[in-house]
Structure 1
Amino acid sequence: MKNPHFCLVLILLLSVEVSGQRNMHFIKTKNAKELHAFFRYTGNDAILVTGHRGGMVKGFPENSIATFENTLKHTPAFFEIDPRLTKDSVIMLLHDPTLERTTTGKGKLADYTFAELKNFRLKDAQGHVTDYPIPTLAEVIEWARGKTILNLDHKDVPLEMTAALIRKHKADGFVMLTVHNPQQASFYLEQNKNSTFSAFIRSKEEFEDYRKAGIPFTQLIAYIGPWVKPENQELYRLLNKEGAMCMISAASSYDKLKSAEERKAAYLSIARDGATIIESDYPIEVAESIRPLQQEKSPQKKFFSRK
């Protein structure tokens, strides 16, 4: 006979898990075509929020599934993350080449095997040790399926390995790639013509480089820099005309402001400037700040779901 107390505990645990999932805001893109549609500029778009390394909240370390889930409890968002390569060629998530700032380890991640790295735990932004291990990119990709979109920054992982992993997991419908130049984008397109990019396009000259290289603007978002400035207006005009959304990242700029009130004013200024994507270490703050400016009806809304 089954232990009734055990059954009750199991039911309670399952209820908590289901309840947690139901309190999350998901972005669901089933394939590359839908991913391209989600990021297509129309002029009536939602202002999209992306968590830089997932977000910075006490108790939640950057580049961790726990942090992604915490953000999704408050707002639909996608995430910029940082793949790095271990000594035995496993792709894991870590922003710095060294372990000290964000983990309990010391030295370079590349000097450790995957098995050795399992012994370390992640730290939050205040340096507090958590119970969370360093995740692999593969497990984060499988976690993200049906929940959100991942934007893979380029660190030390060869482009070939990144393309192969996306292909292996059939993840081009919700995984995009940061590219720093048209040559990187061209390489990925040779591997998969449906690739989606977060492209560094910070000037008219860089815009022309992508155009001349034949990179489809309908398959990218454009990172135009960290500041609101007059020069942005020309980039909005050029890129929006091609169907591409523009992103300003506050991570290295306005996120450094000391008070929440100052940051809120800055996030609003980004949205009013014309950017349709805001990247931030504080995605929850951004979402709350820009709520009054959100379009009631936008093409992106059909990809949002609540569970």
Structure 2
Amino acid sequence: MIAWYKKLAACGIAIAMSGTMYAQSNTINVLNIKTAKDLRAFFKYTGKDVPFISGHRGGVNVGFPENSIEAFENTLRHTPATFEIDPRLTKDSVIVLMHDATLNRTTTGTGKVGDYTLAELKQLYLKDVEGNVTKFRIPTLEEAIIWSKGKTVLILDKKDVPFEMTAAIIAKHNAEANVMVTVHSAKEAKWYHDRNREIVFEAFVKTQKALEEYEALGIPWTHIMAYVGPDNKPELKPLYANLNKRGVMCMISTAPTYDKLASAEERANAYRAIIRDGASLIEADRSIEAADAIKPLLPAKSKKKKFFGKKTI
């Protein structure tokens, strides 16, 4: 009887611990951004900002497929973050999230995304970074936008979706506070800005010449977060200075470079160096690992902390 009771008690403790872990897993970090004005304030460079992570392809972590809402939530359980995602068109002109033009690498399907209807794509399962099939399905951009409100900011990369459709879905959902658009040039930014003065951009500004082009076309710096490239190099110092004095935060993407370093220690050192050398945020495949690495660099005090909170989902 005593042995049986001990087993039951141990089982009860395990269940209780499991319940606690479940409760904890339902608490996520969120960005308190309610309006487009808030979003512009969040990205304004002040010199006393809180460095943070943007999950490349939504964050690439084992068990959670890229470009999935489940991956976003998994990252947010560990750190506040924005998410760079990849919109693509289905055969029936619905926007879904998929980095590649083909399904082979990240789903149980094969062939081109654009050769399938949404209903057909919803029958497939997503694979994680190691190729393991998960229970998760391909989300639509609309599903992701609705989910993201009050939690995070989605940054739409440029794939095969026409500008008109991107602008329309943002307007439809009044999503200027929780959706940004990636633009590769000042001309692209002007196209969107002429149609919607509230949209904020992740803008390619890799050179002084590019900076001057945005300025010449009258794109407000209040509406820009600058992507300066994948390499943390000394030559960026003057560009950082010129963008920062215009109130612009700068971002380095480590997906093609430092995320691929062999050891966790090498990667951590690279992530910290990026922030120390002048970038305000890092776009990383390894979203959780990068966030952990830069924690020692978070300021004790910053007015930007008002934008960071937690929520139970």
Q: TM class by shorter-chain length? A: over 0.9
Deviations 1:49-70 (A, max 9, x none): 1100121211110000111000
Which residue in 1 is equivalent to 2:80? Answer: 76
Q: How far off its partner does 1:18 sit?
A: 9.0
Which residue in 1 is equivalent to 2:69? Answer: 65
Q: After superposition, where does 1:178-257 map in structure 2 within 5 Å?
A: 178-257=182-261
Q: TM-score by structure 2 length?
A: 0.91
8 A contact 1:84–1:157 mirrored in 2? yes
Q: Bigger radius of gyration, 1 or 2?
A: 2
Q: How far off its partner does 1:300 sit?
A: 2.2
8 A contact 1:172–1:195 mirrored in 2? yes
1:294 partnered with 2:289 = no
Distance in 2, Cα, partners of 1:215 & 1:74 = 35
Which residue in 2 is equivalent to 1:3? Answer: none
Q: After superposition, where does 1:43-62 map in structure 2 within 5 Å?
A: 43-62=47-66
Secondary structure, in 3 states, of the residue corresponding to 1:215?
A: coil
Q: How far off its partner does 1:231 sit?
A: 1.3
* Structure 2: gaps of 5 or more residues: 1-15
User: Which of these residues, 149, 162, 165, is aligned with residue 161 of structure 1?
Assistant: 165
Which residue in 1 is equivalent to 2:272? Answer: 268
Secondary structure, in 3 states, of the residue corresponding to 1:231?
A: helix
Q: How far off its partner does 1:16 sit?
A: 8.5
8 A contact 1:103–1:129 mirrored in 2? yes
Distance in 1, Cα, partners of 2:303 & 2:193 = 26
Distance in 1, Cα, partners of 2:163 & 2:303 = 32
Distance in 2, Cα, partners of 1:133 & 1:260 = 30
Q: After superposition, where does 1:19-30 map in structure 2 within 5 Å?
A: 19=23, 23-30=27-34
Distance in 2, Cα, partners of 1:80 & 1:300 = 21
- 1:101/1:192 CA distance change after superposition, 3 Å: same
1:107 partnered with 2:111 = yes
1:171 partnered with 2:175 = yes
Distance in 2, Cα, partners of 1:99 & 1:18 = 32
Q: How far off its partner does 1:21 sit?
A: 7.0
Give % identity. 56
Letter in 2 for 1:125: V
User: Which of these residues, 146, 149, 164, is aligned with residue 153 of structure 2?
Assistant: 149
Q: TM-score by structure 1 length?
A: 0.93
8 A contact 1:38–1:299 mirrored in 2? no
Secondary structure, in 3 states, of the residue corresponding to 1:24?
A: strand
8 A contact 1:93–1:136 mirrored in 2? yes
Distance in 1, Cα, partners of 2:130 & 2:296 = 31
Which residue in 2 is equivalent to 1:5? Answer: none
Q: How far off its partner does 1:22 sit?
A: 5.2
Superposition CA RMSD, Å: 1.6
Q: How far off its partner does 1:19 sit?
A: 3.1
Q: Which moved more, 1:182-191 or 1:77-86?
A: 182-191
Q: Runs of 4 or more off by more than 2 Å in structure 1?
A: 15-22
